[in-house]
Amino acid sequence: MSKNNFVIAVYVENKYGVLTRVTSMFTRRGFNIDTLTVGETESPEYSRITISLSGDRTDRMQLVSQLTKLYNVKKVEVLSNEEAIKRELLLIKVKNDLDNRAQIMDAVNVFKAKTVDYSSQAMCFEVTGDSNKIDAFIDNMKPFGIIEMCRTGIVALERGPDSILSE
Amino acid sequence: MKLKGAEIVVETLIEQNIKTIFGYPGGTVIDIYDQLYKKSDRINHVLTAHEQGAAHAADGYARATGDIGVVLATSGPGATNLVTGIATAYLDSVPLLAITGNVPNTLIGRDSFQEIDITGITLPITKHNFLVHDVEDLADTIREAIRIAKSGRPGPVLVDIPKDVQGASCEFTYKAPVEKTALKPADDKLVHDAAALIAESNRPYIYFGGGAVRAGAGALISELADKIDAVIGCSMMGLSELPTQLDRFLGMQGMHGHYASSKAMAKADLIIGVGVRFSDRATGDTEKFSKGARKIQIDADFAELGKNVDLELGCACDISDFLRKLIDAVDYKRNPNWMTKIDKLREQEAAQEYQGFLPRDAVMAAAALNDEDTDVVTDVGQHQMWVAQYYDFKKKRTWISSGGLGTMGFGMGAAIGAAYGSKKRTVLFTGDGSFGMNLNELATAVTYNVPVTVVLFNNGVLGMVRQWQTLFYNKTYSNTTLDRKTDFVKLAESFGAKGYKAENLEEFKEAFAEANKAEGPVVIDLTIDKDDLVMPMMKPGGSFDRLILATEEENRHE
């Protein structure tokens, strides 16, 4: 069966150790996570974990079932590509070099990146967008010398008026 | 009333109708033991020789009674010694409550004496676990742990209680015993669709496992089979739910299953799985497994549906409810060609049996001398398979064996637990390898005068691994020859138990009959041949098309 990328939103109790329970299940069942983000939600009792990974249909069903079985998990939803808004944030530090500076700034403008730090040796940019855009920006920066970078992984919400808790 | 945490633990267990618990004391559970001593007229504690034995005993108790088993251990090594027992219960979906003490809250995280992160360690082998930081949460956490362990697909739950929580006080009020969360009723449309698949099939095979035992669904399975003219087979975990002699029942299928049962499953055009997970030991290579068959799976746990094999239809619900509705929904039908084929398979199976095979004869003799409701416990290895193959089960829940985890050393503790559950003599079949792992629990059986007959199939080797070495590793017997010189009769006597030695079937029968008259534990050391094999056998990762048969293997020797 063909493997696809997909994103799963998991609504969990905001308690000590819950993230470990979720990630431990992934390890035990042999699922490989591409990205994982976690943070508070509109309700302080709950956290939202967003996981992106790749797998076939059986993997996806098994994953949702196993997540749903965890005691602290309240809701699990697979977010479709069409119906979901997905964003990632990148911080990237690039060598500041007189010869390249103009080219770098061109890319920064095209990608609507924000300059967040500037010194004679290095520049740091912030980029948000879907993962493809982030990948493309990183590719653009490679020739100029990336000193270090950090990306958040995907956060995602479904379009429209409903929440993950709606039936 | 205001109670200390330790007293709350014991009062909550009593409130929840827990009659017997198994355990071992230590520094961080002294307070709980203090309370158990004071309340020993209301709750019974069985002190084992080792925490692992206590965990297996609680597991055996749960399997024999269908109720929850409870085990108590101290922090650190006490807790880690439970791990194999908890994992055994997890893999076989046994409701188990494990209570551990831990160092005081203030010492957690400092690598204090006998401190271990037992909730972390047991995370992947429990349905859920709790670390109780506050005495106010204690009673409700224990109640919730019991509810989780018993509900849906049962399993072990661990509650870790720091010592200061046991010493702190709070208000305690009794509550009613927790109710299991009800399972979903069967979906009518899925029942209807299943009936349609049955109508289209000519070679139906009902395949049930531990989930059917848990639901007590044997009678319904038999009724359905009668109505749609199906044959029935089971996984190892399903044994004893239906009487061995039931006409449509072909017995256990799988790696060491009955020839007719495994072959019929391979030839079926419809497999109806009931509370069974299609494990690798039952299916072999899932790509080749019963390719011609459509598959229906009914299970209490939705995550089981399609986990191991592709399905035509899956339904997560109350198994009994589904079967009841399905029996109403299907039309009466006959499959004469299928039955003719089954009769042929049965004839072929009968032709493979050879005479004078001591392991089989001993199992059958024990079955004949036992009561119908005697619990039969096994360890893991060849003896386990021989009992699974040849024991004539008549009553439900009389088969107690470690299936999923395959835990050598399970038997001695589990047999003690089962005897407490059934309040009558339990028979443990074991091997010299398995028995060697936890024979310390013989001391427990002697102390409490527990009626356990230990039938020790003694071949001086680790027979099952040796069998693989014989068949697949050019007879390179690496580290499977024990040759330990242990005198098991003297060993039994030194523990304070009775011991008998048997070299043949007649001596075995005599010793077994004597054991039935005894009061406490009895060990029967039965010498068997080290080259006896469990047959038939499906090669690991193989398929039912190519079973290794006893007759073939004999030919190969010649």
Tokens of B433: 């390898």
Banded pLDDT at B197 (limits 50, 70, 90)? very high
**Alpha carbon of residue B261 to chain centroid:** 21
Q: Is the pLDDT of residue A122 over 90?
A: yes
Per-residue pLDDT, A3: 79
Per-residue pLDDT, B505: 97
Mark yes or no for CB contact A20/B120 under 8 Å.
Answer: yes
Q: Is A30 on the interface with B (CB under 8 A)?
A: no
Banded pLDDT at B157 (limits 50, 70, 90)? very high
Q: CA-to-CA distance for B498 and B495, rounded, in angstroms?
A: 9
**B133: nearest CA partner in chain A:** A16
Section A53-59 average pLDDT:
88
Q: Is the pLDDT of residue A84 over 80?
A: yes
Out of B131, B302, B306, whose CB is closest to A58? Answer: B306
Mark yes or no for CB contact A25/B307 under 8 Å.
Answer: no
Q: What are the boundaries of each domain within chain A?
A: 4-79, 85-155
Per-residue pLDDT, B551: 66
Q: Is the pLDDT of residue B4 over 70?
A: yes
Per-residue pLDDT, B304: 94
Percent of chain B at pLDDT > 70 equals 99
Tell which CATH architecture fits domain A4-79: 2-Layer Sandwich (3.30)
Active site (annotated) includes residue B512: no
**pTM (two decimals):** 0.95
Residues of chain A contacting residue B310, judged by C-beta atoms under 8 Å apart = 58
The 8-class DSSP code of residue B208 comes to E
Q: Is the pLDDT of residue B480 over 90?
A: yes
Q: Is the pLDDT of residue A11 over 90?
A: yes
Q: CA-to-CA distance for A31 and A25, rounded, in angstroms?
A: 8
Section B211-229 average pLDDT:
98
Per-residue pLDDT, B553: 60
Q: Tell me the CATH number for domain B2-171.
A: 3.40.50.970
Burial class (CB in 10 A: 0-12, 13-18, 19+), A7: buried
Q: Tell me the CATH number for domain B188-351.
A: 3.40.50.1220
Q: Is the pLDDT of residue A54 over 50?
A: yes
Reported as a single tens digit per residue, the pLDDT across B256-307 is: 999 999 999 999 999 999 999 999 888 888 888 888 899 999 999 999 999 9
Reported as a single tens digit per residue, the pLDDT across B373-423 is: 999 999 999 999 999 999 999 999 999 999 999 999 999 999 999 999 999
The domain over range B358-531 is classified in CATH as 3.30.200.20: no
Q: What are the boundaries of each domain within chain B?
A: 2-171, 188-351, 358-531
Reported as a single tens digit per residue, the pLDDT across B541-553 is: 888 888 888 766 6
Q: Is the pLDDT of residue B558 over 80?
A: no
B400 closest CA partner among B239, B197, B251, B529: B239
Q: Name the residue with tokens 């030839």.
A: B267
Beta-ladder partners of B69: B96
**Residue B124 · residue B151 · CB < 8 Å:** no
Q: Is the pLDDT of residue A43 over 70?
A: yes
CATH superfamily of A85-155: ACT-like. Chain A, domain 2 (3.30.70.1150)
Per-residue pLDDT, B545: 80
Per-residue pLDDT, B554: 52
Banded pLDDT at B557 (limits 50, 70, 90)? very low
Distance from CA of B307 to the nearest CA of A (A): 7
Three-state helix/strand/coil letters over A76-135? EEEECCCCEEEEEEEEEEEECCCCCHHHHHHHHHHCCCEEEEECCCEEEEEEEECHHHHH
Half-sphere exposure for A112 (CA within 13 Å, toward CB)? 5
Q: Name the residue with tokens 């790749």.
A: A54
B2-171 against B188-351: fold identical? yes
**B306: nearest CA partner in chain A:** A58
